[in-house]
Amino acid sequence: MFLKNLIKISNFLDEKGHFEFADSIDQLSEKIPMLESEHGKPIEGIIVDVLDKEEHGHSSKSKNPDSYMTLPLLKKIRDLANSMCSMIDEDDKVEDWIESYVSQMSKMMDDVHTAWKYRYKK
């Protein structure tokens, strides 16, 4: 689901002429299936693994093959979200499918964050 959402957002950005942003999302999208295959888990599970290592003081540059891309992916998601925020004005009419996908992504990130927060609370 996450990958499909990224692809649709990239297509939308292409249609609106934001080719550089769309290309960045495309590059990220191309890496997700490889990561999921290598790690045998969905991207959300990989994100949790990286956050686990960061929370417990392990280096994000760890050689651990199970999570080496999670932190960069999270940073990419953060950067893309910031970029989208700067492109959208409060008065803009956003297509329903985009609003739905952003809502789904928000829910997924909230779920991961909540699980992480309560799993490793001190």
- Per-residue pLDDT reduced to its tens digit, 59-75: 444 555 666 777 788 88
Residue 121's pLDDT is what? 65
pTM: 0.44
Phi, psi of 88, rounded to the nearest 5 degrees: -105, 130
- Per-residue pLDDT reduced to its tens digit, 71-112: 788 888 888 888 888 888 889 999 999 999 999 999 999 888
Indicate the DSSP class of residue 122.
Answer: -
Q: What is the C-alpha end-to-end distance of the chain, expressed in Å?
A: 32
Residue 59's pLDDT is what? 46
Going 75 to 48 to 104 to 30, the CA torsion angle's sign is positive
